[in-house]
Amino acid sequence: MKKIIWISFASIALFIASCSDETVDPTADPRDKFTGSWLCQETITGSPAQSFTITISKVGDGDSVKISNFSNYGTSSPQTYAEISGNSIVIPFQNITTTAIPVQGSGIYSTSGGEKISMNYSTDGQSATAVCTK
């Protein structure tokens, strides 16, 4: 019986140790992986899918970024702002463009199958999803 308990304990310890092989650099800026140009494939409920490019840039020293051409609203309209935390991006409620279109949402950065950001958001009262790739 003691042998089974010891083997179980050792197996759990090995499993936990194998899960923690990722090292995190505490001085790294989590926004770095989000910045740059991304090709987005967006689907808005009731509309055909569309493709467009967004550009994400850092804002200040904190966790903020700005998104140019969010939801294909153009690069000359006011920027959409978001907050980064780890692999998450949150777009707080805000009004964008000259017509004050309300937007809000969130997303996740991943490297599964290549770098991508998968987002769910509302734009002008409609639900949308987008997968953006580099």
How do the domains of the chain map onto residue ranges?
Answer: 36-133
Is-contact 87 110, C-beta < 8 A?
yes
Q: How many CB atoms lie within 10 A of CB 88?
A: 14
Q: What is the pLDDT of residue 77?
A: 74
Q: State CA 31 to chain mean position distance.
A: 10
In terms of pLDDT, which residue wins out, 93 or 20?
93
Q: Report residue 95: phi and psi, to 5°.
A: -105, 130
CATH classification code of 36-133 = 2.40.128
Mean pLDDT of the chain: 84
Assign 22 a pLDDT band (cuts: 50, 70, 90).
Answer: very low
Q: State CA 48 to chain mean position distance.
A: 23
Per 3-state DSSP, what percentage of the chain is helix, strand, and coil (rounded to 5)?
15, 50, 35
> If you average pLDDT over residues 102-121, what whole number do you get?
97
